[in-house]
Amino acid sequence: MLLVIDIGNTNIVAGVYRERESSDGLLHHWRLSTDPERTADEYGLLFKGLFDYDGLDLRAVKAVIISSVVPHLTPALEWMAEQYLGLKPLIVGPGIKTGMNILYEDPKEVGADRIVNTVAAHARYGPGPLIVVDFGTATTFDAVAADGAYLGGAIAPGIGISTEALFQHAAKLSRIELVRPKSVIGRTTVTSMQSGIIFGFAGQVDELVRRMKEELGPQTKVVATGGFAPLISKETSTIDVVDPFLTLEGLRLIYFKNKE
């Protein structure tokens, strides 16, 4: 089996695939809170528990690939793979084959998750042009050219951190459940906040996508992923498809590009 791990600022998303070059081999997936205080041993025991609970054998994992935007946490997961699985993980970064020409002024500045997402989107929904919207700690918008080159994109504050800032700095506003209100015009503080957050972020997505399409062309396909993608995409007019496993699929593809 192949274990794929994406370390984000808010969540660690992991999945396990049958070790074969096919996207239909995803056996299970998990979303964990990113905790920089956890040690490699704690992560090892955590993964052992997850595998056991879902009836999977951790010893059957034959390869590991990791992408990370939390550099100080990467060594803990790397050591976990070496200590508990006896495997040297492949780390997505400079020197890794992605099959994608990165046209950023400094390719090293591009977050590993953004490259992983666009590799998967191009393989699944290409040839392009494409826009990938990832609703993570930040909301990222990544553009892929018709020939598969990574062009760049836009980065906006994510829904989670934006709403958390609102709660912290407005004394009379408390945390709320993020669900779609019945009306844009809220008649309570809670529904007013739900309207502003959900419809407001949907509007942000539509406007940024519209402007990017002016440069890429009207035939551009828009793919969304990330924790809030199912909620926000329903309120947009520009997102064509929601793919919750885009990052995991990108990691799988990159692993096989580098397997030899």
The Cα–Cα gap between 180 and 199 comes to 8
Let me know if 52 is exposed, middle or buried by CB neighbors in 10 A (0-12, 13-18, 19+).
exposed
Of 113, 134, 142, 243, the catalytic one is 113
27-43 burial, b if ≥16 CB within 10 A, otherwise e? Answer: eeebebebeeebebeeb
Domain spanning 2-91: CATH 3.30.420.40:
yes
- Give me the tens of pLDDT residue by residue for the chain, a chain 260 residues long: 999 999 999 999 999 998 766 667 899 999 999 998 999 999 999 999 999 999 999 999 999 999 999 999 999 999 999 999 999 999 999 889 999 999 999 998 999 999 999 999 999 998 879 999 999 999 999 999 999 999 999 999 999 888 888 877 776 677 778 889 999 999 998 899 899 999 999 999 999 999 999 999 999 999 999 999 999 999 999 999 999 999 999 999 999 999 86
Confirm whether 2-91 and 107-245 share one CATH topology: yes
Q: What are phi and psi of 150, to 5 degrees?
A: -85, 120
Sequence-distant (6+) residues with CB within 8 A of 61 are: 1, 2, 3, 16, 85, 87
Q: Are 36 and 70 in contact (CB under 8 A)?
A: yes
pTM of the model: 0.91
DSSP letters along 142-194, please? Answer: EEE-TTS-EEEEEEEE-HHHHHHHHHHH-TT---------S-SS-SSHHHHHH
* Per-domain residue ranges of the chain: 2-91, 107-245
- The architecture CATH gives domain 107-245: 2-Layer Sandwich (3.30)
Active site residue 147: no
